[in-house]
Amino acid sequence: MLETLLERQLLPLLIVISGPSGVGKDSVVQRMKERDLPFHFVVTATTRPKRPDEVHGVDYFFLSQEEFDEMIEQDELLEHALVYSDYKGIPKQQVREALASGKDVVMRIDVQGAETIRNLCPEALLIFLSTRTEEELVERLQARRTENPEELELRLETVHQELEQVHLFDFYVINAENKLDTTVDTILAIILAEHQRTEPRQVVI
């Protein structure tokens, strides 16, 4: 009985880290990578142009619209969506292979994508990142200066809608300013606790 329970507790988790633009999803996942944790970090495909500090195949798979459309046509994406005028999607095979290896799988996706994953895989572990206040989030978006005025306005309009979707998630984690390691520690504590459940999540993709 105990051996069976232990085996079930070792089942890999599908972990979704989400939240509004500007909340620090990329920074949180990057810090998790820096700690050399035994997770598989999913690389998202996107049609968004590559920023100067980003690396193809590491930060994202930067694809043309034609390449992205072909992945949709071949049913190679677990989920995909139009996000702020660019497409993003999760390669299906990458997730399946990582889960089959026994590793916990970490996905960094927008709120719309997280809702899709919850519908496709109810046993996924959804973590919502936020700032302490909506005003702080707006300030972060304005300070990073990665969008033109029209794009920034669109993101600001979406922030409030995304914050209202927190009820879809299992956990709510504050990513406070200059407290990145605290945020990561909280996420790791959640993951550890999830592996101790008497009724573990059994992910099927």
Residue 79 lies inside a defined structural domain of this protein: no
Alpha-carbon gap, residue 89 to 104, rounded angstroms: 19
Mapped onto helix, strand or coil, the DSSP state of residue 22 is coil
pLDDT of 6 > 90? The answer is: no
Nearest to 77 by CA among 33, 104, 116: 116
Band the pLDDT of 126: cuts 50, 70, 90: very high
Residue 51 lies in a domain: no
Q: Is residue 160 part of a domain?
A: yes
Amino acid symbol at 36: D
Best CA proximity match to 24, nearest among 178, 204, 199: 178
What is the average pLDDT value for the chain, to the nearest integer?
89
Total domains, the chain: 1
Residue 201 lies in a domain: no
What CATH number should be reported for the domain holding residue 110? 3.40.50.300
Asked, for residue 65, whether it belongs to a domain, the answer is: no
Can you give the residue range of the structural domain that contains 134? 2-42+104-194
Three-state secondary-structure class, residue 147: coil
In a domain, 148, yes or no: yes
User: What's the rounded Cα separation, in Å, for the pair 156 and 51?
Assistant: 20
Query: Does residue 87 lie within any of the structural domains?
Result: no
Q: Which pLDDT belongs to residue 140?
A: 79
Q: Which whole number is the average pLDDT over 81-94? A: 89
Residue 141 resides in a domain: yes
